[in-house]
Chain A
């Protein structure tokens, strides 16, 4: 007993020591707090995202940094849990001049909305998070380009309308949404409800509880009974392969089953264990490793023995998206440096860089990112850019993009965004800034 107590005391003393240990502060480095998740039911997806992010930063450092400013990062495992994510953010935020925070979870994003403002840190939620944050007048510190969930839903609807041969043919059709019962999954519901009223289709919801993502038998039995003409999926983690497997088991036509861009990666279709040929997914970047950046990552990061994950994942969907996330932040740094000089940037300067980001095809090609970043122009008012998606199809071996850019129905989405942002501003007593 006494030994146990002494042991406990020693352990406690060690822990206390590690708590007060000062964080290393390096002045010449821009700091990236990475809220990643490599464990748990979302770990397979989160790991590829994190590897892509880190590999791109390693590449930038290998090339001499951003105008000489080196990048430094620390990871904290959130497990996709909101309270852990908040704790991670608080743990990391003081360790250096923050470039941007990307939690890769809509739940954590909502919890950090006010904290980011109070700490003057940019919250960069690339294609996820709070949709109405696209209204930069209410959410100056949050950026969610290249497209929000609401825009993405309308783009997918555009494709469906096109396939059905016009809006008038949607009358009486049923469109289902298989969603993760989590803030992320529920995000597109208001838009689809609004569209269903306008266009006369029946909108069916199939929520999958986070606690039983790998058991969806009864849900797909319902789908079999209701026979929706189209199914969209807002899924993540272990939910995706299960849903694709169940769809294939009830012989649901795969070319009418469309995942959003978090439900269409290699890990999702390979993991399902059944042929998922024909399954469609949304994306905003190319698949494969054709872009110049991958040759550089292979040469300067992986061949140098410095790769984060396995080299095989270069070119896979979620890895590419991780690269895109870091690349957007780096481009925002370049934009800010053009204004404020080549130095480590403050939060406010980073925010300026994001808000004045104007990525042209030429600039993207210069960085070897053709196809990985879409051309993007952000403004004070519009933090979403000009939203559009492409669709990709799984051919059994790999993803293949088969459409051109499908623009979102901005005329439908933007008023919804502004209304929701206005409600947020009034409830929280936020002064709406003027952009003119």
Chain B
């Protein structure tokens, strides 16, 4: 009774087609977004903003991207880390090659400022989109094998992207502007006149910038999944032969999923370099990252937007929170005579507990956190009765 559909009537097509058909859902989402935008930057500490929430949002964008490919279209990919790296390196090349619009087009965007707000200071967003598009094209190329093979075999071919692209960025010094160690520092960027990346930018700016992109990505994925593209992806996922018979082009469906997925992943990779680690380096995009994003998608829930966020939160935040809480419990262990636990031991406990949690959640709910949320809604619907 806490949550119910009864009494909600849709009298127009627009209402019937809304993303959130129930007012309750709508309010909940708006309140969450409002808290994320207006409350969290004011109350959260700089550490929480910059090292818990910002990486969580960046990885949510990557998880959304992979969810398009794996969750909605059913194509398994292990190349996520490489596509993120491509996004990072391409953004770096673009912003160092064309620091302003005039460097590329010879036109200067108007330099207007209202109390520090500069509406035309949007060049970095264009650079991000351009890097995303380059990643999309490369992702599409590495998606070509999906037309012939599927399942685990496809996973192996996407693994080729992981090894080839990282090798390329090390081998060709052009990608790092001939930096000696193969690491390039990510130059600080601005948006609307505010510093949004770089060490000197306020943590809240970085957080809000990434939050804005994460919301845009979530809206885009949610809506794409409802339109003809998303339906064709899901048809291919559920049964490719049947989908082809009813007139869906597998080539188009699969390649568009690869392209859009890589676009989002590329942008996430650029943010990882520019916002999180302030440098572009291949070692931040190893195969481990590919697996991590895949875990986020699976643990969060395949084919759901909410699941991408929940999965990213689980994979990014749990190890850090476990580590912090175990470290802060050390005085307690000393007090009860167990002695201080070394940081190596804490790290090992962190690994074990995190691994056990993954197994636990997959056994309890193989369909991921998003499904748990649905079950919770069902409970609220029938409360206080069991059925």
Binding site for B on A (CB under 8 A): 1, 4, 14-15, 18-19, 21, 36, 38-39, 43, 47, 75-77, 79, 82-83, 86-87, 90-91, 94, 106-107, 110-119, 130-132, 181-184, 186-187, 189-190, 207, 210-211, 420, 423-424, 427-429
A residues within 8 A CB of B96?
427
Contact of A429 among B187, B278, B284, B348 (CB under 8 A): B187
Interface residues in B302-350 (C-beta closer than 8 Å to A): 320-325, 328-329, 342-344, 346-348
- Bound complex: CA A211 to CA B166 (Å): 13
Nearest first, the 9 A-B pairs at minimum CB distance are A38-B344, A114-B199, A183-B181, A118-B199, A115-B199, A18-B325, A15-B321, A18-B328, A111-B277
User: Would A47 and B344 count as touching, CB distance under 8 A?
Assistant: yes
Stretch at the interface among B47-55, B152-160, B238-246, B259-267: B47-55
Assembly CA distance A34 to B147 (angstroms): 50
Q: Chain B residue with minimal CB distance to A184?
A: B181
Q: Is the CB of A39 within 8 A of B325?
A: no
Q: Does B177 contact A (CB under 8 A)?
A: yes
Whether B14 sits at the interface, judged by CB under 8 Å, is no
Q: In angstroms, how far is the closest chain B Cβ from the Cβ of A410?
A: 17
Residues from chain B with Cβ under 8 Å of A181 in the complex: 170
Given contacts A19-B321, A420-B180, contact A110 B344 (CB under 8 A): no
Interface flags, B243-284, vs A, CB<8A=1, else 0: 000000000000000000000000000001000111101011
Pairwise interchain contact A114-B182, C-beta atoms closer than 8 A = no
Q: Inside 8 A of B344's CB, which chain A residues have their CB?
A: 38-39, 43, 47, 77
The answer to whether A428 touches B188, judged by C-beta atoms less than 8 angstroms apart, is yes
In Å, the complex CA distance between A210 and B281 comes to 14
25 A-B pairs with CB atoms under 8 Å apart are A14-B325, A15-B322, A18-B324, A18-B329, A19-B324, A38-B342, A39-B347, A39-B348, A83-B272, A86-B277, A86-B278, A90-B47, A110-B281, A113-B279, A114-B185, A118-B199, A118-B200, A131-B180, A131-B181, A182-B283, A183-B283, A186-B170, A420-B180, A423-B177, A429-B187
- Who on chain A is nearest to B328 by CB? A18
- Chain B neighbourhood of A427, CB < 8 A: 96, 177, 185, 187
Q: Out of A76, A116, A428, name the residue touching B187 (CB < 8 Å).
A: A428
The distance from the CB of A83 to the nearest CB of chain B, in whole angstroms, is 6
Chain A residue with the shortest CB-CB distance to B181: A183
* Other-chain contact of A110, B50, B198, B279, B346 (Cβ < 8 Å): B279
Find out whether the CB atom of B343 lies under 8 angstroms from the CB atom of A36. yes
Q: Cβ of B281 and Cβ of A428 under 8 Å apart? A: no
Q: Would A82 and B283 count as touching, CB distance under 8 A?
A: yes
> Which among B50, B183, B287 has the highest number of chain A CB atoms within 10 Å?
B183
Determine whether B364 belongs to the interface, using a CB cutoff of 8 Å to chain A. yes
Give the number of residues in B that approach A within 8 Å (Cβ atoms).
45
Which label, helix, strand, loop or mixed, suits the secondary structure of the A interface? Answer: helix
Residues of A within 8 A of B187 (CB): 427-429
- State the total of A-B contacts with C-beta under 8 angstroms: 130
State whether B180 touches A186 (Cβ < 8 A): yes
B contact residues around A90 at 8 Å (CB): 46-47, 50-51
**Contact at B281–A91, with CB atoms within 8 Å?**
no
B277 proximity list for chain A (CB < 8 A) = 82-83, 86, 111
Considering the chains assembled together, what is the distance between the CA atoms of A192 and B33 in angstroms?
A: 54
Q: How far is the CA of A21 from the CA of B343 in the complex (A)?
A: 19
Contacts A83-B277, A107-B183, A110-B281 known; 9 new A-B pairs at CB < 8 A: A15-B325, A39-B344, A106-B181, A117-B199, A183-B182, A186-B170, A186-B180, A210-B283, A429-B188
B286 proximal to A (CB < 8 A): yes
Cβ–Cβ < 8 Å partners of B329 in chain A: 18
Chain B positions within 8 Å of A190 at CB level: 180
Residue numbers in A under 8 Å from B183 (CB-CB): 107, 110, 183
Contact between A183 and B281, CB atoms less than 8 A apart: yes
CB-defined contacts of A79 to chain B, threshold 8 Å:
347
Chain B residues in 8 Å Cβ range of A77: 323, 343-344, 346-347
Q: How far is the CB of B364 from chain A (nearest CB, A)?
A: 6
Q: For A43, what are the chain B residues with a Cβ–Cβ distance below 8 Å? A: 344
Cα of A131 to Cα of B181 in the assembled complex, Å: 9
State the Cβ distance, A21 to closest chain B Cβ, in Å: 6
B contact residues around A182 at 8 Å (CB): 283
A83 to B288, CA, bound (A): 12
Residues on B with beta carbons closer than 8 Å to the beta carbon of A117: 199-200
Residues of A within 8 A of B323 (CB): 77
Tell me whether B182 and A115 are in contact (CB under 8 A). no
The answer to whether B47 and A91 have CB atoms under 8 Å apart is yes
Q: Is B50 touching A428 in the complex (CB atoms < 8 A)? A: no
Which of chain B's residues 165-211 have a Cβ closer than 8 Å to chain A? 170, 177, 179-183, 185, 187-188, 198-200
Smallest CB separation, B62 vs chain A (Å): 13
